[in-house]
Structure 1
Amino acid sequence: MLPTVTRRALLATGTAAGAATAFLAPGIGPATAQSPPGVIVMAKQIDDITSLDPAEAFEYTGTEIIGNVYRKLVTTPNDDPARLVGDLAESWATSDNRIFTFTLKAGAKFASGAPVTAEDAAFSLRRAAILNKSPAFIINQFGFTRDNAEARIRATDARTLVLECAAPTSPSFLYYCLSAAVGSIVEKAVVMARAQGDDLGNGWLKQNSAGGGAYVLRQWRASESVMLDANPNADPAPRTRRIIIRHMLDSSAQLLGLQRGDIDIARNLVADQINALRSDSRFRVMPQRKASLMYLSLSQRHPALARPEVRQAIKLAIDYEGIQRNIVSTTYAVHQAFLPEGLPGALTEKPFAQRQEEARALLRQAGFPNGLEVALDYSSGAPISDIAQAIQAQLGAVGIRLRMVAGEMRQVITKTRARQHEMAIVRWGSDYFDPHSNAEAFSMNPDNGDNARNRTLAWRASWEIPDLTARTAAAVTDTDGARRVATYQALQREHQQVSPFVILLQEIEVAVTRANVTGLELGPMSDRTSFSGIVKA
């Protein structure tokens, strides 16, 4: 069983006070101990941001920012995420399931004051396909490429956009994909005025914005802060003029800042801190189950991890329930399938529990009677650092010795994307409300070469699976809803047993606000978390 793991005590007074003081918004001294009127100061671990260009951003915090800075053609409401509604689009239709026509709403504006046109929408989707950054596969899977995007994604007038897919596709699937962050609409003129060479403005848009959402990106400082100002042309207007998100890695410093009034919202408190605040009338505790998973990625380039028996041994060495109970009791639930609970077809079965003798026997069967050594990359922030230490102890108990490699989450993400990890603790959030969002990521790898176009999670793990890829691709085209759900359930059961992914937990995001702060809307997916309604009394 997992030895009891307790969070470290609050930082010593001097250290915690210093961290909280450093966390204050500009112009607020330590004596003030209150965030200013009209400004919301939020504490969050934001070291996962690599870019704030919607054609490139693919991390939790980055897509959350994008969801508040940009708009899309269509979206899904948080109270009914299976329902599609228009955002910039007034209507959409298809006659043959291959050519889709969108009519934009009249009157929508960018932050610059310029009207949103169908050409801006066409440019944005073409740009994602041409740049071919991490999230591009969401768009490119419909047959859009650098060579054909200009012809197949086109504006026919100021309010009409036409998408011509390579083959017939499920309309709802296409619409769900367009509701992902990569479907955000940017202002063509502003972006192209900052383009360098053939980068389509990517260098500039990494740290700036050209959208029509509730807020404008004023500043991003890596691993320090993000500042958002209200978009003067937003309709409806956001209720707070400025949002400051400060990077604070340690949850104890977040808690102290919240208690002092230096911050208004804490986003990364841990279980014991959250439980202590539930009965305190000075604070509000807001939970939201998310379509977000924490898992181990086992590189198939590592000779030992490529052995099925070793992968199975790792899955049987971990005490899932113990980790959840002792480290993340309020912020994660045990989950062991690639579709998170809440998505159609999600499995809630838990076939794995800690069985150390079986794990040792599998290692002997694989030819490792004396165990083996593997490097583990993980984020140094809580709770992942605590989970990493627990996994180190549990795998060590069966003979798998971990070399611990801690770093910023951005570093872990970059390493796994480059296929340079051996084992890594990472997180994955669904991009849209369809089972294919996760199925494609976890169980498709059409090209395992280093220069592959679709660099899915299976590709990052160097897992070559032509048969599973073909069956997963076929599932998305099935027009029989019940049969499609059954297919995804069968894929998940197979995936649980053979894949190089150890799916550990599903996130239950918990934000804690001061009692005078209302209006934060946590979404089931990161880009659905909304700041526009936040207000401080």
Structure 2
Amino acid sequence: MMRQTTMVTLFTLTLLGAAHAATPKDTLVVAKNIEDIVGLDPAEAFEFSSAEVVSNVYQNLIQYDVKNPNKVVPGLADSWTVAADGKSITFQLKPSAHFASGNDVRPEDVLFSFMRVVKLNKAPAFILAQLGWTPDNIGQMVRKTGNDSVTISWSGDFGAAFVLNLLAARPGSILDEKLVTQHQKGADLGNAWLNQNSAGSGPYKLKLYKPKEVVVLEANTTTPVGAPATRMVLIKNVVEPATQRLLLESGDADIARDLGPDQLTAMKARADIRVETYPQAAVHFISFNQKQEKLRNPAVWEAMRYLVDYDGIANRLLKGQMKVHQAFLPEGFPGALKETPFKYDPEKAKAILSKAGVKDLSFDMDVINAPRFMDMAQSLQASMAKGGVKLNLLSGTGSQVITRYRARKHEAIMLYWGPDFFDPHANAKAFAYNVDNSDGNYQSTTTWRNAWAVPQLSSKTMTALKEKDPTARATAYQDLQRDVQQSSPIVVMFQEQSQVALRSNVKGYINGLTPDFVLYDKVVKQ
């Protein structure tokens, strides 16, 4: 009873922002900006913070290997066999696996999980739609072939390795059909309920979610991957880095995720806190909506590449939290382009604009109102002013900015993109593919969101996908990156490096290349 009382007190004090002596030993408290969360349903979750929650709550048939994300390992499937024709895979489910509810994991749950992604058609749906799945054919493409086996088929000229990468991605999460269907409202397939609750088999279950306040994860002691070492994870929304620092220093938080360079420097001097750096696959860019006539001139795109103070932002402003990177594939992916041909040169930008007859250019840029993003945006505002361009900043929460972007209501935007699965096609599809630019054909890509129709690049993207030779495929993706790098309304600037401050007694925290690899189940506090 004392432990329950302690936890209730902790929830209350944390939600109110009050101070207390220390966090309980079986509870991990994380201070982080989680205002980017739009949804926690795996069929909808498409933001960095929601990705972390999904990865700790759900399992897939197969999972990415944390140490080598280009490799997949068993998840809810014990094994799998690729058909001789290379057009289907049969998965053998773990016979003893069950969900947090106690319900067994069945082939029917696999079909239900994939079906709802395709039918709901939310932001991540395009990942599985690449398999040729539609609401009409999903029942034939995913079939129960035994009491513990399911066969998955696809259409398209690509191999089983690419399919496995897709199935290991977030929308491949397997949900408890029996539980979810109890909470359906109309035709929402449980979407509203799953944005506040969970129905998975992962090491944690969603205990509480209050938008822009807190996420609480509770241990699932019967998970097939083994009970987590930490009984509770509380992720408190703390937007201000200075407040995160105070919580960490006082012992009211165990991990601070969004500290600025100055706070991190101060943390490194303390014996009770350590700072760790984790390379990330996220690339940061600015882009220009082609619905805006003033932003359609390729000379504008070219000039913008010389109005970013790359070194100043990466090295002096953010002090290592960003690395200069100017191509859409992050380092670590096959074919990633490491060339950085653009430097800050406002006079050259002026000459480009003048030659094109562009005068008095002014535009609005949406930006997340967290300190790091605002610091970067203000640097861009100053550097562009020296090139004769007026940049107006429109700040909002992460969810507000992302929602406007998805609706194509922005003029320009500064944002980030993380690959949705570990294959070069993930980012190539996002940055170099758009064959239907109509407003009614929503696509989760930077090309569509910026209304940039690219039929020739789209064709090259699909050719690269079909290439079987790894060396030739990598070369094809390098060519695509150069195309986008040299002439597009998307200016890739940086690759992220996450710097996390932890109290020294926190061990076992995992922060991999993407938010899907922020894992809490091995954390212990010594």
Which band: TM-score by shorter chain?
over 0.9
Separation (CA, whole Å) in 1 of partners of 2:154 and 2:13: 49
Whether 1:522 and 2:525 are equivalent positions in the alignment is no
* Aligned counterpart, 1:360: 350
Deviations 1:482-523 (A, max 9, x none): 100000001001110111111111111121111111111001
- Distance in 2 separating the partners of 1:499 and 1:438: 15
Which of 267, 271, 290 is matched with 2:280 structurally? 290
Matched, 1:333 2:323: yes
Match of 2:471 in 1: 482
Report how many residues are paired: 515
Of 357, 371, 393, which aligns to 1:404?
393
Report the identity percentage. Answer: 39
> SS in structure 2 opposite 1:199?
coil
| Residue 134 to residue 510, structure 1, CA distance change in 2 (3 Å) | same
Long gaps (5+) in structure 2? 1-9
Match of 1:322, as an amino acid? G
- Secondary structure at the counterpart of residue 495 of structure 2: strand
Indicate whether 1:536 and 2:525 are aligned.
yes
Q: Deviations 1:439-469 (Å, cap 9, x if unpaired)?
A: 0011111210011153421000000101101
User: In structure 1, what residue type is equivalent to 2:147?
Assistant: A
- Corresponding residue for residue 12 of structure 1: none
Aligned-residue offset at 1:24: 4.6
Matches within 5 A, 1:379-418: 379-418=368-407
Partners of 1:190 and 1:329 in 2: CA distance: 47
Contact 2:213/2:237, CA 8 A, preserved across alignment: yes
Question: Deviation at 1:29?
Answer: 5.3
Match of 2:99 among 100, 104, 110: 110
8 Å contact from structure 1 (residues 129, 145) kept in 2: yes
Alignment-derived partner of residue 13 in structure 1: none
Structure 2 vs 1, CA of residues 22 and 69 (structure 1 numbering), >3 Å: closer, same or farther? closer
Partner in structure 2 of residue 84 of structure 1 = 72
- 1:453-464 counterparts in 2 under 5 A? 454-464=443-453
Name the residue aligned to 1:465: 454
Partner of 2:292: 302
Of 233, 244, 248, which residue of structure 1 is paired with 2:234? 244
CA distances 1:93-147 after superposition (whole Å, capped 9, x unpaired): 2221212211112211110111111211121112111111111111001100111
Equivalent residue letter for 2:34: I
Q: Please state how far the C-alpha of 1:382 moved relative to its aligned partner.
A: 1.8
Is contact 2:221-2:228 (8 Å) kept?
Answer: no
**Cα distance between partner residues in 1 of 2:448 and 2:313:** 28
Opposite residue 298 of structure 1, the aligned amino acid is F
Q: C-alpha displacement at 1:206, in angstroms?
A: 1.3
Q: Distance in 1 between matches of 2:144 and 2:518?
A: 30
Map of 1:23-422 to 2, 5 A cutoff?
24-25=13-14, 30=19, 32-94=20-82, 95-234=84-223, 235-369=225-359, 371-422=360-411
- SS of aligned partner of 2:244: helix
Counterpart-to-counterpart distance in 1, 2:11 and 2:358: 49
Amino acid in the other structure paired with 1:271? P
Question: Cα–Cα, structure 1 residues 413 and 26, in superposed 2: closer, same or farther, change >3 Å?
Answer: closer
Q: Distance in 1 between matches of 2:11 and 2:171?
A: 34
* Counterpart-to-counterpart distance in 2, 1:223 and 1:69: 19
- Inter-CA distance 23–172: structure 2 relative to 1 (3 Å threshold): farther
Moved more, 317-326 or 208-217: 317-326
| Contact 2:271 2:504 (C-alpha < 8 Å) held by counterparts | yes
SS of the aligned residue for 2:314 comes to helix
In the TM superposition, what is the alpha-carbon distance from 1:149 to its structure 2 partner? 0.9
Asked whether the equivalents of residues 32 and 237 of structure 2 are also in contact (C-alpha less than 8 Å), the reply is yes
Q: Which residue of 1 aligns with 2:7?
A: none
CA contact (8 A) 1:219 1:227 kept: yes
What is the CA-CA distance between 1:156 and the residue it aligns to?
A: 2.0
Show the counterpart of 1:7: none
Contact kept in structure 2, 1:25 and 1:35, CA below 8 Å? no
Amino acid at match of 2:413: A
- 1:63 aligned partner, one-letter code: A
Indicate the residue corresponding to 1:11 in structure 2.
Answer: none
Counterpart Cα distance in 2 of 1:529 and 1:97: 33
Q: How far apart are residue 158 of structure 1 and its match? A: 2.8
Taking structure 2 as the reference length, the TM-score comes to 0.95
1:23 shift after superposition:
9.6
Greater Cα shift, 210-219 or 273-282: 273-282
Q: Relative to 1, partners in 2 of residues 1:334 and 1:24: Cα closer, same or farther, differing over 3 Å?
A: farther
The 1-side partners of 2:499 and 2:96 are apart by 36
* Residue type at the aligned position of 2:297: R
Answer whether contact 1:142 1:166 (CA < 8 A) is retained.
yes
Distance 2:40 2:326 in 1: 31
Match of 1:16 in 2: none
Q: For the aligned residues, what is the CA RMSD?
A: 1.6
**Following the alignment from structure 2 to structure 1, what is the Cα–Cα distance between the partners of residues 327 and 16?**
47
SS at the partner of 2:365?
strand
Q: Is the Cα–Cα contact under 8 Å of residues 130 and 149 in structure 1 kept in the other structure?
A: no
Which 10-residue stretch deviates more, 432-441 or 226-235?
Answer: 226-235
SS of equivalent residue, structure 2 residue 371: coil
Closer, same or farther: CA 474–36 of 1 in aligned 2, 3 Å: same
1:425 partner amino acid = M
